Amino acid sequence: MSTLEILQFPDPRLLTVAKPIAQVDERIKDIAARMLETMYESNGVGLAATQVNVHERMFVMDTTEERNQPLVLINPELTWVSEEKTCGDEGCLSIPGIYDSVERHASVHVKAQDEHGQWRTIEATGLQAVCIQHEMDHLMGKLFVDYLSPLKRNRIKSKMLKRAKG
């Protein structure tokens, strides 16, 4: 199996809204497996299909310290969010080395299909809840820098463009 290329901010393809997946077939299972391999190799805790230029509603994640509980979420929908919010530093594999504070719901419930097409509901708190919200934003064409001030966002964009030029 081979890893996938992760799009880097400010690549405009990261702004694409992902389309629902009609059927969980071998193609989707293969993409999910390659996304997990890419996420683990990149030391990430989550990776949305949008970030690897696949514009379908799917993301993978593993927020465990042991890195041994991979989750594949296909056609995810938030069914409940807590009123309580939490604020913490977030990073992103599409914006490597950049971290900033983002406010998120402290707890969420997400309904999604797994890699076998079975529907399940996950009740998440802490890092897992933050990761779910972060990856779902990707599926809507949104990045964590969109929560920052225009000044901060433009500084990050400039830094990423300089980095890309070498």
105 has binding-site annotation: no
CB 84 within 8 A of CB 107: yes
Question: CA 43 to CA 124: how far, in whole Å?
Answer: 21
Catalytic residue numbers read: 135
What is the C-alpha to C-alpha distance for residues 55 and 151, in angstroms, rounded to an integer? 29
Answer yes or no: is 55 a known binding residue: no
Single-letter code of the amino acid located at 83: E
Mark the binding-site residues, compressed into ranges: 92, 134, 138
Which residue ranges make up the annotated binding site for Fe cation?
Answer: 92, 134, 138
